[in-house]
Structure 1
Amino acid sequence: MPVKPCVKTFFFRLHCGALPVKAWLEEKGFFVPWSINCILCKRPETVEHVFLECWDAVFHWDILQRTLKKQFPLTAQGIRFLSIEKDAGIPYDMFMVLSLHSIWKTRMAVRHADVTVRDVRENFIESVACIRDVYRAQPE
């Protein structure tokens, strides 16, 4: 998959269950200021919540599935193992990884009070544009 190394590292950490969501941080003994709840919807911030249940993730997955006209396996196992098949050579697994990483980048920018927080859509478009440039640079 021709994705950035940071996307591969992110997915490895997601697959291994080592993403620093608030519930994971508290479980490992780290101090989590205020609470382990999501800032957006006030529910415990777990991996499943961040990528499947939180309203910004639900909104992104809904738009992406409608745009691509493809149902993604949006389950805890589906996001960790990318259990989706290619149709006509379209790499839907790559779109899933880019979406997951875009959701994570936005979440971390909000958590760290970044001045220039970009929404999930903007991060996703940037990632897809990078992939497009990689494919354009390859010889026919």
Structure 2
Amino acid sequence: MQNSDIQSDVEKYEWNRWVPRKVNIFGWRMNLDRLPTRSALSKRNITLASLSCPLCGERDETVEHIFGSCYISSVIWHMVSRWLSIPPIYAFSISDLLRIHEHINWPKPMKKMVHAIILTTCWSLWKLRNDVVFSGIRVDISRLWADIKATSFLWIKNRAKMHTLDWSNWCNFNIL
């Protein structure tokens, strides 16, 4: 298999040590479309009351929808792009989303930071989805946004050993 000419997204997934291993595994599974979304479960003959997205209720829940076209994720990606001062994030595919950092003209450590923030955002969206499905939590975009900022700050500060990184600069993304 290693010598075959077939290129797949499996080979292209980029691991990031600035996020926990479980988040990298989650990102890898997301890239492979192997998350247990309602559509994926339905394809495995698991009967569900509804296939609609638990966050917005507008379309069937797929990986592409949750992280790309869902209203909630669209609002969050807009907030992320404004916070990072990068062009608006439009994810037409999961691989587009996971490669945003490659198209930013910043130093390599900053690209790695953006990649970690993208992975953290996807992780937080999935956690919110699970809270809605399993605990009946209501969608709160401001709480989700606060969680993304705090989690990414803690992971990057500690895992990248950026001990001089402080919260006020992080909140304004005054890193460059």
What amino acid is aligned across from residue 7 of structure 1 in structure 2?
V
TM-score by length of 2: 0.67
Distance in 1 between residues matched to 2:76 and 2:37, nearest whole Å: 19
Q: C-alpha distance in 1, partners of 2:117/2:36?
A: 22
- Please give the alpha-carbon distance, in whole angstroms, between the structure 1 residues aligned to 2:139 and 2:155: 19
Q: Secondary structure at the match of 1:120?
A: helix
TM-score, length of structure 1 as denominator length: 0.83
Query: Does the 8 A contact of 2:38 with 2:62 survive in 1?
Result: yes
Contact 1:3 1:131 in 2 (8 A): yes
Q: Which runs of 5+ in 1 are unaligned?
A: none
| Conservation of the 8 A alpha-carbon contact between 1:37 and 1:45 | yes
TM-superposed CA distance for 1:75, in Å, is 2.0
How far apart in 2 are the matches of 1:52 and 1:58? Answer: 7
| 1:24 CA drift (Å) | 0.6
- What does 1:55-94 correspond to in 2, within 5 Å? 55-71=71-87, 72=89, 74-76=91-93, 77-79=95-97, 81-85=98-102, 87-89=106-108, 90=110, 91=112, 92-94=114-116
Distance 1:113 1:95 in 2: 26
Match of 1:125 among 131, 143, 149: 149
CA positional deviation for 1:52: 1.1
Sort the Cα spacing of 1:137 and 1:95 in 2 relative to 1 into closer, same or farther, 3 A.
closer
The 1:131/1:117 distance shift into structure 2, 3 A limit, reads farther
Q: Percent identity?
A: 21
Please state how far the C-alpha of 1:30 moved relative to its aligned partner: 1.5
Distance (whole Å) between structure 2 residues aligned to residue 130 and residue 121 of structure 1:
16
**Could you say which structure has the larger radius of gyration?**
2
Unaligned stretches of 5+ in structure 2? 1-15, 164-176
Find the residue that maps to 1:61 and give its secondary structure. Answer: helix
Give the CA RMSD over aligned residues.
2.4
Q: Per-residue displacement from partner, 1:24-70 (whole Å, max 9, x unpaired)?
A: 110111122x2101132331111111011112101110011011111
